[in-house]
Amino acid sequence: MRAKDHPDAEKVFKKLRKQMPTLSLDTVYRTLWVLNDLGVITTLGSSRERARFEGNLEHHHHFICTRCGLTSDFYSDELNALRVPDSLTEIGDVEQTHVEVRGTCKKCLKNVSKQIRSDKSTKQRSRK
Ligand SMILES: [Zn+2]
Ligand SMILES: [Zn+2]
């Protein structure tokens, strides 16, 4: 529940195995789904395959880095109260509005600028 990086079962498994060497991935999967069914955690998206788990049950939104997949929580009263089109009732009942913002995280931005710099220096080198 403290994990802020929206891990999938494999990531949880890798983290826990250090403390519990006898732990199996299967146990992690089953436990995560039990916790999900109990409402202690929730999942991102709808697919049961490669689901990612969420310990933050407060109404929040996500920033997703399209380069590294980092998913960060953020809060906005404005977005919580976002009005959705009436036409959605034709699709189904709306329970909650969740906004997914996509972009490049700070870490990746740094790497991108580093890459550009090294690209420039290799070009300069090859010109010699
Ligand atoms: Zn990133
Ligand atoms: Zn989240």
pLDDT one-digit tens code per residue, 51-104: 788 889 999 999 988 888 889 999 999 999 988 899 998 999 988 888 999 899
Rounded to the nearest 5°, which phi and psi values hold at 103?
-175, -155
Going from the Cα of 3 to the center of ligand 2, the distance in angstroms, rounded, reads 10
Q: What percent of the chain has pLDDT over 70?
A: 88
d(CA 99, CA 5): 17
Q: Which ligand is nearest to the CA of 104?
A: 1
What is the per-residue pLDDT for 107?
93
Going from the Cα of 110 to the center of ligand 2, the distance in angstroms, rounded, reads 24
Ligand 2 is an ion; residues with CB less than 5 A from it: 54, 56, 73
At position 5, the amino acid (one-letter code) is D
Q: What is the 3-state secondary structure of 56-75?
A: CCCCCEEEEECCCCCEEEEC
d(CA 105, CA 63): 9
Q: Is the pTM of this model over 0.75?
A: no
Q: Which ligand is nearest to the CA of 53?
A: 2
The structure tokens listed for 125 are 């080198």
Pairing mode of beta strands 61-65, 71-74: antiparallel
Going from the Cα of 41 to the center of ligand 2, the distance in angstroms, rounded, reads 10
